[in-house]
Every structure is written in structure tokens, then in C-alpha cells.
Amino acid sequence: MKRYEWTTASEGETILFSEKLAEYLTPGDVLTLEGDLGAGKTTFTKGLAKGLGVTRTVNSPTFTIIKEYMGRIPLYHMDVYRLEDSDEDLGFEEFFEGDGVTVVEWSQFIKEYLPDERLDITIEYLSETERKIKLQPHSTHFEEICKEIKK
Ligand code: ADP
Ligand code: MG
């Protein structure tokens, strides 16, 4: 499937972008986030949360691995950075198959557990304030969403 790209010029633009994306998400959707430290994965998740109607503040779940937020649809926010070099299965499937939207930061570390149908997101650092956001859909549902927000 085709890859879709955007450039954002500020943290606020990234949040607006992911907030808009969130409007199209449905229960059971799985999104992965790859990008270097400071690329904007957690920032992107903050916008998603906002778009899902989460009112609590979203911050990096590095020390808890999985955090759950209540919204229009629940948001499961994972940061699996600490699972590098371990094959530990923390029951990911229950989240992936659950009624919420799951977002996984550093998803490359739990590749073997990820579902086939997902939206892969890569954030690239361009400059202090600019980021390239790449969306790679892996299902028709996510392809439709990409087309819709590209309009
Ligand atoms: P990660 O979770 O990938 O480690 P964070 O979201 O925690 O990254 O941090 C991203 C940092 O980059 C924040 O300090 C944010 O203010 C800054 N930033 C600057 N420009 C952008 C942009 N266009 N999009 C997202 N974040 C940006
Ligand atoms: Mg982060």
C-alpha cells in the first residue's frame, strides 16, 4: 500500500494533525510509532488523546510500559522502549484486540506481537521545529483514513 507523508512546522501542528487523525479511529485500531528519541512520538500521542476526547494529561509511560486513558474510545498508550532485547509478552494482544485504540511507541521492539492490520507511523527529525510524519497503512480501513486526511 501507498505511503503518505506530511511535514509539520511546530509541536502544535503535529498535535493538530494527530488530533484530526483520531477523529477517524475506531475501537480495536492499532497504531505504531517509530522515530528517534525526541522525534515527537509522545507529542503525537497527546494529539491523538485529545482527538479521542481524553481529558487527562498524557505523558511518557516509559516506566509503566502501558497506560490507559478514558475517552470517546479508550486509549492504550504503550512505550515498549524498555523491552529492547527481551521477548517479554505483557499480554499485548488483550489490548490490540480490545475496545480501545492502541498506540505503541518503539514498536520495533515488539514486532512479533503486532497485529497485521495496523497503521505504522514514522516521525523524522528535520530541524528543531520541523518533523516529517510518514503513515504506512496496512489495511483498507487505514488506507481510507490516510486518503481522507490527505484531502
Ligand atoms: P519522543 O516521544 O519521540 O521521544 P517527544 O514527543 O517526547 O518525543 O518530544 C518531542 C520534542 O520535540 C518536544 O520537546 C517537542 O516540543 C519538540 N518538537 C519540536 N518541533 C516539533 C514538531 N514539529 N512535532 C513534534 N514535536 C516537536
Ligand atoms: Mg516518547
The predicted-structure confidence for 97-147, as pLDDT tens digits, reads as follows 999 999 999 999 999 999 999 999 999 999 999 999 999 999 999 999 999
Q: Which residues line ligand 1 (CB under 6 A)?
A: 8, 10-11, 13-14, 35, 37-43, 105, 129-131
pTM of the model: 0.96
- C-alpha 39 to ligand 1 mean position (Å): 5
Atom of ligand 1 at shortest distance to CA of 45? 6
Beta-sheet strand order (sheet of 101-105): 4-8, 131-137, 119-125, 30-34, 101-105, 75-79, 66-69
- Global ipTM: 0.99
Can you tell me the distance from the alpha carbon of 24 to that of 131, in angstroms, rounded to the nearest whole number? Answer: 22
**CATH number of the 4-150 domain:** 3.40.50.300
Which of 8, 43, 79, 81 maximizes ligand 1 atoms within 8 Å of its Cβ, making it the mutation to test the pocket?
43
